[in-house]
Amino acid sequence: MRARDLGVAPGIFAPGKHNAITDVADVRVGQVTLKEGDTVRTGVTAIFPHSGNAYRSRVPAAVHVGNGFGKFIGSTQVNELGELETPILLTCTLCVWKAADAMAAWMLDQPDMHQVRSLNVVVGETNDGGLNDIRARPVTAAAVRTALESAASGAVQEGSVGAGTGTVAFGWKGGIGTSSRVLPASLGGWTVGVLVQSNFGGVLQVSGAPVGRELERYAFQNAVALQGNGQPGAADDRGDGSIIIIIATDAPLGDRNLRRLASRGMMGLGRTGSSASNGSGDYVLAFSTAASVRRAFDATRLETSELANEQMSGVFQASVEAVEEAIYNSIFMATTVSGNGKTVEAIPLDRVREVLQRYGIAPPKH
């Protein structure tokens, strides 16, 4: 179930209709889940900034690197030019280059693209090599095309789907999660939507409740038990992994303020109990869909109308809330997955509810 079904509603702002990144008008998501035999558990998730040609009509964008242990194809040009010119793909670590090549081929084959000689495809990843035979690099061009061509608005599938099929978060099954916030009219009425691919660790807390500690599954568990002269715990991880966070908004922001917005994604991540460990690649990409900041590929001048710095605080707050909730959704919506000789269990939601009730966060179940 989603976080709100457990009584978990981070922050103060209300979500949009679907409580998803697609609440930002014209943003679309497509996903392909790959489960083959006993070994392949991976997939592709595609995010479109709008329904037009992303190369011809570019949105301003920025990437914030919380911890750079990862592969994020195209991120340097995004930050150099401050814009996206393709959809965003998420997949598994050893599949990023295959996914990038497949999206480049798909883009170059689109109408009005036959004279294009340079293309900055954007592909992020997390490592699902526990549940997935990642060395087989099972993501195909056909899977990428299907994810791109199936992209749609509306509700977004969450949990063990798409690029989240084989991921793990806080020792339980992770996956794809999404959430949104709509600012009050007095703060501009803007919508902020988030999608995450969670595959990281730490000490899970939910709205401040120490869920990981109470369920006795958290990073450094063995070290803590041994320090107290007790028995070693069941887990001995260091919170490694990765997370990709995508933030979309219809607030008219240029790439400078989008870089500031992206950095706030780390605050939402921190609220869930991550410390951005050494082995965790933590990346946040933010973009604006507003027509007033859109950039034509062949523009000779940019005349845009952007939100002023003083109007950013509400957007920052909304992004922190939506990132936090999207991460909870990615875990609470995930199902137990077996693959590659390993099983990762879904988090036991009944026990989570008990912890939340004990700490005064969730209402009693009726």
Share of the chain above pLDDT 90, in %: 89
Least confident range from 117-126, 254-263, 294-303: namely 294-303
Q: What is the pLDDT of residue 196?
A: 98
DSSP one-letter string for 229-259: TS---S----S-EEEEEEEEE-S---HHHHH
Is-contact 265 64, C-beta < 8 A? yes
Extents of the domains making up the chain: 3-300+307-358
pLDDT at 298: 86
Q: For 90-106, how does the pLDDT look when each residue is reduced to its tens digit (9 = 90+)?
A: 999 999 999 999 999 99
Cα distance from N-terminal residue to C-terminal residue, the chain: 15
Q: Could you tell me whether strands 280-288 and 295-296 are parallel, antiparallel, or unpaired per DSSP bridges?
A: unpaired
Q: Say if pTM beats, i.e. exceeds, 0.85.
A: yes
pLDDT tens-digit profile of 174-205?
A: 999 999 999 999 999 999 999 999 999 999 99
Residues annotated as part of the active site: 242, 280, 282
248 within 8 A of 290, measured Cβ to Cβ: no
| Distance separating alpha carbons of residues 108 and 55, to the nearest angstrom | 10
Distances 37 to 136, 137, 148, 234, 345 between C-alpha atoms, Å: 13, 14, 24, 29, 19
Whether pLDDT at 226 is above 80? no
Options 3.30.70.100, 3.30.70.260, 3.60.70.12, 3.90.45.10; CATH for 3-300+307-358 is 3.60.70.12
Question: What pLDDT shows up at residue 362?
Answer: 75
Q: By C-alpha distance, which of 124, 45, 120 is closest to 84? A: 120
Per DSSP bridges, beta strands 280-288 and 241-249 are: parallel
Quick one: how far is CA 129 from the chain centroid? 18
**Contact assessment for residue 281 and residue 51, using Cβ atoms and an 8 Å cutoff:** no
The model's confidence at residue 238, banded by pLDDT at 50, 70 and 90, is confident
What stretches of the chain show up as alpha helix (H) in DSSP?
75-81, 96-108, 141-149, 211-214, 221-227, 255-271, 313-332, 349-358
Identify the pLDDT of residue 303. 82
**Inter-residue contact 195 to 226 (CB < 8 Å):** no
Mean pLDDT, residues 335-349: 97
Q: So what's the pLDDT on residue 365?
A: 67
Gap between the Cα atoms of 218 and 74, Å rounded: 33
Cβ atoms 187, 67 nearer than 8 A:
no
Where residue 305 falls among pLDDT bands split at 50, 70, 90? Answer: confident
Give residue 229's pLDDT band: very low, low, confident or very high (50, 70, 90): low
| Average pLDDT across the chain, whole number | 95
Average pLDDT over residues 130-148: 98
- And the tokens for 4? 């709100």
